[in-house]
């Protein structure tokens, strides 16, 4: 163990993906003096996108496309980037971190002025001891799975979990030539049963592409024999390999015993992104943040939010002041030419004593053209008509339309005032009554 001469930094960021890179970039831009900045990352690379990993596996993009130019930009700006470096222990009251350099094969102590934690999340994998069971979180995970597919040419796969990554991987597997694909979902509908009516449209699309969906059954175990046997109550199937995509959890190993943790074992942070210890900030998947619609803190694993919160943490660590206003839990993805998006409360949050729920069916373009696509919109309000959530599914224009609902939620608008929004019209792009307005007008009429 050693403390090297001048081994000190004004700002230390632990974690080199979305939140960490945004945090140190913002600190560098807004800090009032020439301060030493160090970024620690245990992987051999920084700043990659987990969201595009399915498209690398399918061959739609190259391996190099997974990474941004952040590393080169940081080095050019004098930011010290230390990859293959593990943070092993926080010595909070000494303002030190015990590190291990995998490159140099040694431990050392780093002194810091301020600290930003951006350790991210790790996959939940109850079958981690079974060979042939994969998770997908990092480029290394993707490379390993792609190598297996290319070398073994598997015929069948079971996807356990039906969130965005699991569903996008279904299409990726199909493009990769895998013929027999199973989806296992413990809830009664895919997407964890969050939006039943909207999910039913996606289930129809999946079945139309030959995907076998098993809902309402919990996978009890995965056993290794000649193949992998996926076992539920009264049902089992043999496949060549398994993708477990049941979600992620905050990576809290470094600080779970020294900082205040929340209900999901993520870090508790203020609106300034400050943890329970002054001078220590946190951002991204490792912490819990509040939403717009009920102001409750909780986990929300999103690259967009990681970047937003990282910027705020870096801003505040530099001495300026900015607060995180909240989020709507907005999400979107596309599978087999069908788009899904949601924001705010979902159907699983619906309480008939507190909420109203409306379903509207519209067209994506002017009906007289004859080639618009059906759009299903689900809208949730409170008893006064204030918009709390929306979900949409269709073949085009879904993601940007749900963004409009996100703004309505942020502004706490009711259906009457939101229905007066001046949205665009052009027959080739949208009908006179856009699906957003159609849903709002229908809700006003039926309220």
Q: What's the mean pLDDT in 222-242?
A: 93
Report the pLDDT value the prediction gives residue 64, as an integer from 0 to 100.
85
Beta-carbon contacts of residue 381 (< 8 Å; ≥ 6 apart): 355, 356, 358, 387, 388, 414, 415, 443, 447
Q: What's the mean pLDDT in 421-434?
A: 92
Q: What's the mean pLDDT in 59-76?
A: 87
Beta-carbon contacts of residue 37 (< 8 Å; ≥ 6 apart): 9, 10, 11, 13, 24, 27, 28, 78, 79, 80
pLDDT above 70 as % of the chain? 98
Task: Summarize pLDDT for 256-266 with one digit per residue, the tens.
Answer: 999 999 988 99
**Of the ranges 7-11, 132-136, 189-193, 423-427, the best mean pLDDT one:** 132-136
**Confidence at 6, pLDDT banded by 50, 70, 90:** low
Report the pLDDT value the prediction gives residue 333, as an integer from 0 to 100.
95
Report the pLDDT value the prediction gives residue 391, as an integer from 0 to 100.
97
Domains and CATH numbers, the chain: 8-122+249-317 (3.50.50.60), 125-246 (3.50.50.60), 331-446 (3.50.50.60)
**Confidence at 49, pLDDT banded by 50, 70, 90:** confident
Task: Summarize pLDDT for 153-211 with one digit per residue, the tens.
Answer: 999 999 999 999 999 999 999 999 999 999 999 999 999 888 888 999 999 999 999 99
Instruction: State yes or no: pLDDT of 4 exceeds 60.
Output: no
Beta bridge partners of 185: 215
CA atoms within 13 A on the CB side of 91: 11
Q: What's the mean pLDDT in 216-228?
A: 93
d(CA 396, CA 364): 7
Report the pLDDT value the prediction gives residue 5, as an integer from 0 to 100.
46
Lowest-confidence region among 81-95, 288-302, 382-396, 412-426: 288-302
Report the pLDDT value the prediction gives residue 2, as an integer from 0 to 100.
56
């Amino acid at each position: 163990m050693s403390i090297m001469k001048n081994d000190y930094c004004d700002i230390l960021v632990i974690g080199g993906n979305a939140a960490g890179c945004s945090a140190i970039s913002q600190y560098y831009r807004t800090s009032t003096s020439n301060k030493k900045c160090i970024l620690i990352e245990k992987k051999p690379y920084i700043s990659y996108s987990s969201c595009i990993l399915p498209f690398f596996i399918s061959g739609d993009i190259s391996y190099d496309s997974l990474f941004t130019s952040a590393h080169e930009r940081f080095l050019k700006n004098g930011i010290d980037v230390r990859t293959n470096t593990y943070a092993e222990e926080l010595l909070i009251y000494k303002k030190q971190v015990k590190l291990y350099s995998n490159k140099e094969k040694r431990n050392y102590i780093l002194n810091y002025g301020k600290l930003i934690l951006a350790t991210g999340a790790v996959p939940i994998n109850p079958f981690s001891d079974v060979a042939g069971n994969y998770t997908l979180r990092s480029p290394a995970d993707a490379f390993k799975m792609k190598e297996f597919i290319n070398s073994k040419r598997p015929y069948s796969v079971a996807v356990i979990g039906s969130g965005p990554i699991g569903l996008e991987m279904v299409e990726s597997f199909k493009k990769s030539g895998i013929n027999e694909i199973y989806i296992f979902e413990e809830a009664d509908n895919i997407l964890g049963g969050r939006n039943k009516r909207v999910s039913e449209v996606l289930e129809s699309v999946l079945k139309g592409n030959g995907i076998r969906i098993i809902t309402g059954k919990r996978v009890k175990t995965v056993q290794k024999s000649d193949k992998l046997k996926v076992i539920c109550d009264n049902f089992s199937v043999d496949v060549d390999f398994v993708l477990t995509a049941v979600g992620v959890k905050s990576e809290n190993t470094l600080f779970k015993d020294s900082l205040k943790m929340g209900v999901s074992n993520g870090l508790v942070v203020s609106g300034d992104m400050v943890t329970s210890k002054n001078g220590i900030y946190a951002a991204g998947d490792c912490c819990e943040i509040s939403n717009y619609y009920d102001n409750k803190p909780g986990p929300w694993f999103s690259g967009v939010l990681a970047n937003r919160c990282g910027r705020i943490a870096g801003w505040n660590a530099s001495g300026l002041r900015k607060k995180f206003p909240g989020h709507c839990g907005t999400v979107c993805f596309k599978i087999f030419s069908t788009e899904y998006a949601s924001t705010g409360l979902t159907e699983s949050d619906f309480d008939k004593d507190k909420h109203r729920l409306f379903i509207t069916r519209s067209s994506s373009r002017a009906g007289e053209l004859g080639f618009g696509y059906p759009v299903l919109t689900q809208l949730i309000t409170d008893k006064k008509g204030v918009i709390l959530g929306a979900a949409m599914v269709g073949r085009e224009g879904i993601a940007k339309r749900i963004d409009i609902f996100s703004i309505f939620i942020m502004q706490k608008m009711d259906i009457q005032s939101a229905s007066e929004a001046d949205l665009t019209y052009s027959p080739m792009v949208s009908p006179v009554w856009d699906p957003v307005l159609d849903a709002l007008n229908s809700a006003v009429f039926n309220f």
